[in-house]
Chain A
Amino acid sequence: QKEVEQNSGPLSVPEGAIASLNCTYSDRGSQSFFWYRQYSGKSPELIMFIYSNGDKEDGRFTAQLNKASQYVSLLIRDSQPSDSATYLCAVNYGGSQGNLIFGKGTKLSVKP
């Protein structure tokens, strides 16, 4: 059973702080990793994707991948109240493109 695990939260951080969201996955054959943001009642939207070990930065967002530890994280710098949402980690185990296994998500709350 392929699994993606996330802390459900809620994770509460003050405005301007760094929010750190973590995700572990069960299968070493995993090839690509995605972070989606989902506002309440809305559909998910892609924030970042990463394939290779190390860091990938895009504006205030940094994705980190450690395949040896089967661990992927998302850092949000200078957190804003508009970042308050649920963040879904998704893993493609190498099957059909787009056939992702999703974690249950971590709810982030950024306090002004």
Chain B
Amino acid sequence: DGGITQSPKYLFRKEGQNVTLSCEQNLNHDAMYWYRQDPGQGLRLIYYSQIVNDFQKGDIAEGYSVSREKKESFPLTVTSAQKNPTAFYLCASTTGGNTGELFFGEGSRLTVL
């Protein structure tokens, strides 16, 4: 079955540590996105990539980094520079067609201890 796989589903981190969240898709989608969601909040865009080896900052990119070395993969690193990293992180992809529909992974919940 086609879809988006995020891992890990739950992650605990000590302050000062970098962590990397994995996102893999087999939908053959060109564009991939990372969103952050805090309780009672909408989704806020961290980074997005429309093609391999290229990515753009979203609204809240500070303290995060990404790479796009393969079409299928778009990992997100939460660095120690991110002051409040505890959140629900969602990876998404789209074909870039007329609908603009986003397909989401199941999410990764990061808790900083």
Contacts and interface: CB of A to CB of B under 8 A. Distances in A.
B100 to A, nearest CB: 4
A9 B43 CA distance: 17
Given A42-B106, A43-B90, A44-B104, A104 B31 contact: no
Interface in B56-109: 56, 58, 90, 92-97, 99-102, 104-107
Q: Size class of B's contact patch?
A: 20 to 34
Interface residues of A, number: 22
Contacts of A8: 40
Nearest to A43: B104
B101 A34 contact: yes
A76 interface: no
Contacts of A88: 42-43
A29 interface: no
A100 B40 contact: no
Interface of B: 31, 33, 35, 40-45, 48, 50, 56, 58, 90, 92-97, 99-102, 104-107
